[in-house]
Every structure is written in structure tokens, then in C-alpha cells.
Amino acid sequence: MKKAVLIFRYIVIVLVYLILVSIFYNNYQNTVQIIRSEDQVQHQLIEESIYNNIKYANISIQVVEEELNARMQEYSLVMLKKYQQEPDILNWNFEELKNRFGNCEIYIIDQNFKVVDTTFEQDRDLDFKNFPSFCKLLAARLQGNTFESDRMDLSTNTGELMKYSYIPTPDHKYLLELSINIGQRFPALNSLDTFSAVDILKNQYPCVKDISIYKSDQNGSVVLKVSKNKPFYSKVTDKNKVTHIEKALRLNQVQIRAENGSSLGVTYIYKYIPYLPSQSAGNLSWWNSNVIEIVYDNGWLIKDINNERESFYTNIAIITAVYFAFVFIIIFLLHRSEYIAYHDHLTDLPNRKLFNELIKNNISSIKKSGGKLAVLYLDLNNFKSINDTLGHHVGDNLLHKVAQMFKDNLRKSDNAARVGGDEFIILLPGIYSQDTAINVAMKLNNIFKIPVKIDEHELTVKLSTGISIYPDHGSDPEELIKKADIAMYHAKKHNLNYMLYSADLE
């Protein structure tokens, strides 16, 4: 029973520990989930911010463009009329026309798609054949008969926000182009700088490794990277990147790819977010369509999760140390409390309660294997006199010394207990005759014939011993102890060293 209680106690200790670890682990998992959720929220904020920046710029530009389209069409018709009157276009006074058109820059593009004359010297002799996709668009416009205008865009040479319009001459020899520097004409639109927003986001969020903006030609055969520095448009040659950009444009869906970083466990997440505005007629404005590439460095996420994991391990180590230290103290106190409950505080011998348990256990063993056991009830005859004469200090020391002498002169299987002021009982298990018990009683009496030295006193101790035998004199602890006590009483009364119980003593 006691063993079962002990096992149950340890099971409870382990279960409580596992519950504590489970609670800490669930908290750790929840924290990691929060970190991941916050990371996703950050990603969403970043993507919405850059997307809305482009969208807002696009809407603002669209409002301005409605006015500019009408004005540029008016100027283009003026040039077309002038061409009909003066076909020798290269002899025109372009500066006069520029002043008349509110400082709009004028470009004359010939059939070879080269700027043969212009009021903007930086673009003189610009050859659009270097831009095949755009060149294809110019070819269609040159062969057309209508006025066309592009959305505002960055100049290939200067990187400034510009707007361009085109109208072909009736003989399709020239394409008359007008351009307006939007930043100079409408300074407020300079605040719609997507690249500045990109720099702010990169500085604000360490998880952002890079943000780039791309556009594709009408057929999707060429992908260009847009930059705020020269070259303002550069062809993308990374096939993997081109594939994802083209797919984002074609499906109008966000595309994602991952790439391992230089550090262990670090991954770069590439997101391609399409922005596809429509023209007034509802058709896709391909040249003004963009793909936003955001490169996320999950090293920061891994670092936060690793920090949380280290914190979890540290907490587990601390709680383990504290918990088992606490359990050790509790077990120690319980054992100590149990020990005190079953032992005499002065001699450290078992008390009567424990002695009864010892007899029960030995009786159970004897019933299985056979044999006998003896109970010796001992009294120190002159203890009261020593205690009254020399004081309790000497008496206590004498009791402690007697208990130690019993331990030193008994077998390991034997047990001694203190049951009263000067009374002791001894259990002798595994004997086969009463002679063994009588011999032990005589041995103990002989030991105490030599005076016991306590402090400066040499004390003579005389024992009176009563003996009972199981199963001859009883079958339970109380009966055996009682009959040994009766035998001791008669031994003391008749000044004998020992006496074996018999029925005629009662």
C-alpha cells in the first residue's frame, strides 16, 4: 500500500510538471503565431501602401491628363495644319511654336523612328529602334490617322515625369510629338513620388530587403525595370523574374517565389503585385501598367522566433529547476514529517506505531516462509533515580547512548524502538526457537554490566527484559507487545534479568 502511494505521488509530480511544460509550450506556440501574424500584417501594410501610392498617383495624374489631352490635341492640330501649308518641316521655327504652345517640347520623328528635330536638345537624334516594343507602337501611330496620347511617364533620358502625344502627318512621313514636363507645369504632382515612398518603406520595415517597379511592353516580350536614376528603364534579363512578372500581368494575380539566403534558414520571399489601370474606354493601359516586386527578408522573422524559442527553453529550464527544487523540498519535508511521526525524537529509534508496522510486515513474511519472531520488552531499572539525581540532560544522554548500544549489538534485520520514558522494545525476526531470544536478552544484560560513561559520570544500567514469541504467545503486534510487557514486569518484580512469557504470569 505504501509503495502504491509512493508511485502515485511520483506520477502526480510528473503529471503536474508535464502540465506546466504544456502550458509554457502553448504560450510559446501562441507567441510564435502572433509574431507570424504581425509579420503578415506588416507585409499587408507594405503592399497596400506601395500599391495605393501608385494607384493614387495614377488617379491624380488621370485628372490632370484630361485637361492636358485636350490642350495637346489642340496644339497637334495646329502643327498638322501648318504641315499642310509648309511641308518642309525641318525649316519650321520650333521655338516660336514652343512659346505658342505654352512651352511644350516639340519632336519630329521620321519614318526611321529617329528624332530629326526637337526643341529639347537632350533628345535630338534619339533613336527609338533601341526600344523595339515602343518602336512598334510608334510604327502603328505613324501609319494611323488619329491623335494619340500616352499616360504620364518617366522620360527615358531625364527620368522626369513627362506626358507625350502623337499625331501623324497625312503623308505618314513624320510623327509629330509633343511633350510636357509635368513637374514644371504642375509642381504639386512632384509629391507623388513612388520612389520616395519605396525608400521610406525600406527604412521603416527591416523585413523589406528591396522594392522595385517593373513594366512590360504590349506583347509582354520585354520587361523593363523602372528606376529613379539612370538608366531609368533597364531591360530585365533574369528569366525567373521575367516569368513571374509576365504571369502577374497576364493573370492579374500576385505571384510569389522563394529564394534561399546566404545565412542558414534565411529565405527571401519575392512578391510580384500587378497594377493594371484601364483607359477611359475600359481597355487595359499596358504601358502604364506596373508590377511591384517586394523582396522580404525573413531573417528578421526567424530572429524573432529564435529569440522566443530561446526564451521558451530558458523558461523551461528555470521552471524545471524551481519546480523540482520545490518538489524536493516538499518531499523532504513530507519524509521528514513522516519520519518524525514514526520515530522517537530523542533516540531516533522507531516509535511504537512504526514498531507495530514492522511486526505486521514480519508476521506476513513468516506466514509465507515459516519461522518465528520474538518481541523483547526492556526497562532501565534505575533510570528514574539517575534522571532525578543527575538531571534530565544526563538522563536524555543516557537514553540516547542506550539506543545506540542496542543498534550496535543487534543484527541488521533486528529493530529496536522506544515506547516510553525508560522502556524499549526489540523485534527479532527470523528465529526458530525461544533460545535465540533468551541469548539476545542475556547478551544485552552482559553489555550493560560495564558502566556507561555520560559526560563525567559513569553510570551502571540494569535491564529487565520480558520476552514473547510469535506464534506461541500471540498473533498480532499488540498482543505480543502486551505479553512481553507482562513478562518484563515480572522480571523486574523478581529482580531477574529476563523472563519468558507464560500464561501463568497473568
Question: Cα 353–358–361 angle (5° rounding)?
Answer: 130
What's the mean per-residue pLDDT of the chain? 87
Domain with CATH 3.30.70.270 in the chain: 352-505
The pLDDT-based confidence of 219 (bands split at 50, 70, 90) is: low
- 186 vs 42, more confident: 42
- The mean pLDDT value for 136-146 works out to 91
CA–CA separation, 299 vs 302, rounded Å?
A: 5
DSSP conformation class of 448:
T
pLDDT at 31: 92
pLDDT at 386: 87
pLDDT at 299: 83
CA–CA separation, 375 vs 473, rounded Å?
A: 10
Half-sphere exposure at residue 180, Cβ-oriented, CA atoms within 13 angstroms: 24
Domain with CATH 3.30.450.20 in the chain: 42-188
Nearest to 489 by CA among 473, 471, 470, 468: 468
Tell me the fold of 193-297. Beta-Lactamase (3.30.450)
To 10 degrees, the CA torsion angle through 309, 312, 314, 319? -170
- The mean pLDDT value for 213-225 works out to 75
CA–CA separation, 461 vs 383, rounded Å?
A: 8
pLDDT digits (tens, 9 = 90+) for 13-65: 888 889 988 998 999 999 999 999 998 998 899 888 888 888 877 777 777 77
pLDDT digits (tens, 9 = 90+) for 453-491: 988 888 888 999 999 999 999 989 999 999 999 999 999
Nearest to 418 by CA among 345, 309, 359: 345
Over its C-alpha atoms, the chain yields an Rg (Å, rounded) of 53
pLDDT digits (tens, 9 = 90+) for 92-122: 998 999 999 988 899 999 999 999 999 988 8
CB of 86 closer than 8 Å to CB of 92 = yes
For domain 42-188, give the CATH number: 3.30.450.20
CB of 250 closer than 8 Å to CB of 241 = no
User: In sequence order, what are the beta bridge partners of 376?
Assistant: 426, 467
pLDDT at 350: 93
- Map residue 327 onto helix, strand or coil: helix
Give the DSSP per-residue string, 247-266: HHHHHTS-EEEEEE-SSTT-
Q: Is the omega angle on the peptide bond into residue 170 within 30 degrees of 0, that is, cis?
A: no
Helix axes 194-204, 2-85, angle to 10 degrees: 160
| Cβ neighbours of 447 (radius 10 Å) | 16
CA–CA separation, 296 vs 390, rounded Å?
A: 90
pLDDT over 70 for what percent of the chain?
A: 93
Question: Which residues does 268 contact at the CB level (< 8 Å), separation at least 6?
Answer: 209, 258, 259, 260, 261, 295, 296, 297, 298
CB of 466 closer than 8 Å to CB of 488 = yes
Nearest to 93 by CA among 117, 113, 77, 72: 117
The domain 352-505 is placed in CATH, from the list 3.40.640.10, 1.10.230.10, 1.10.760.10, 3.30.70.270, at 3.30.70.270
The pLDDT-based confidence of 262 (bands split at 50, 70, 90) is: low
Q: State the chain's maximal CA–CA distance in angstroms.
A: 161
C-alpha cell at 308: 522566443
**Is the per-residue pLDDT at 504 higher than 60?**
yes
C-alpha cell at 345: 525524537
Helix axes 2-85, 299-342, angle to 10 degrees: 170
